[in-house]
Amino acid sequence: MSEEVIMVRKLLPLLLIVPAVEVMILIYSSHLIGVMSTFLLIIATSFMGAFLAKKQGTSLFQKAQRQMSQGHVPSGEILDGMCVLFGGLFLLFPGFLTDVVGFIFLLPFTRRIVKPFLLTWLRRFFQGRNRMTIIR
């Protein structure tokens, strides 16, 4: 069985469970604080996330440029940039669970916790994928 099929089989339950949990949380929240408050909270976290993603992304881009101008490879900034990208993507989805995950990837002090796991995942993902196919 190919690696892609294995990955899809691992992700499929997640793609089914997360939306169901999000809907349950949204329903519970709307009963707890009201429909309009829940809606406004989701909109507020989306705007706050977009603002933070832009701010963090711009800052990381400038840091990477400084590193490269000094002749260094900005490997840490690249990994931080991936975290900011993932965080921004999670914040685009409506719901509180994905917002929490998005902010964990986005905020610098929580990103330090996530980066080692992301690095391990990337190493596993790219391990053995250094084959090159040239088609003429």
Q: In which residue are the tokens 């400038």 written?
A: 62
Alpha-carbon Rg for the chain, nearest whole angstrom, is 19
Q: Which pLDDT score, from 0 to 100, does residue 135 have? A: 64
| pTM (2 d.p.) | 0.76
Q: Identify the sign of the CA torsion 103, 51, 32, 97.
A: negative
- pLDDT tens, residue by residue, 81-99: 888 988 988 988 888 999 9
- Please state the domain extents for the chain: 3-126
Average pLDDT over residues 114-123: 85
Nearest to 88 by CA among 119, 38, 46: 46
What span, in angstroms and rounded, lies between the C-alpha atoms of 107 and 82? 13
Q: Which pLDDT score, from 0 to 100, does residue 128 have? A: 66
Q: Are 113 and 103 spatial neighbours (Cβ–Cβ below 8 Å)?
A: no
What span, in angstroms and rounded, lies between the C-alpha atoms of 8 and 124? 16
> Could you tell me the two tokens for 57?
């992304």
